[in-house]
Structure 1
Amino acid sequence: MTLPNTFAHHIIEIDNQDDVTTMLKNQDDCLEIYQSSQRNLEAFNNFSESRYRQVHGHFEAHTKLLHEVKSDLNGVFIKLKKVKALLEQQYPVEMNLALDAHPPLVVTDD
């Protein structure tokens, strides 16, 4: 006899109504626990979804701001480079003295 058949045979042979009632109550308790867990998970998923949308909006705004800052800084560095080149053309001796006293910083990209 296979396991499912043996199990079914034992279930059929249960004569005690108290055992059947206990089994049904246990099944109802398990179903209620499952439904409660499902409701809690749905509430958590809804909360997570709303938080994700909120955080994603902030992230996009900050990313846009960083791009704007980067382009502004690039513009400033280009202008500084032009001013530096003009000063070097007009005052080469003074620029060499200034560069000797204050060498340019070496920035490495990480």
Structure 2
Amino acid sequence: MTPGQIAHRTRRAVDAAVHAGRAHGLAVTDAHVLYEFFFFVVHLAPSPVVARVPTVLPRHVDLDHLAGRQRTELDVAAWFADRGSGHPAQLAHTPGAGSARRLLDDVSGS
């Protein structure tokens, strides 16, 4: 990928994360990328919340699989939080296939 393509992909991932955070009622004023490889981790500052935005998926991964994986990640985070490790905030609405589709469409430009 060219530097311009990487910058464009980064902007789209950050925009998707900010949009998702605001859709869940977060006041996001300073989003920044904490990690980027096959997915982005975006801090939705000033909230103590990060969003994980997938950008590269294997061909066999469909939206149902992605939604199931998101559910598992949230379950694991909740398990750790219940045991006093970290403080993940639970949103009122857990992302599902519809949220995954919107994020993938936002990032891919569809």
- TM value normalised by structure 1: 0.25
> Higher helix proportion, which one?
1
Q: Which has the larger radius of gyration?
A: 1
TM-score w.r.t. length of structure 2: 0.25
Q: Which has the higher contact order (CA 8 A, sep 6+)?
A: 2
Which structure dedicates a bigger proportion of its chain to strand? Answer: 2
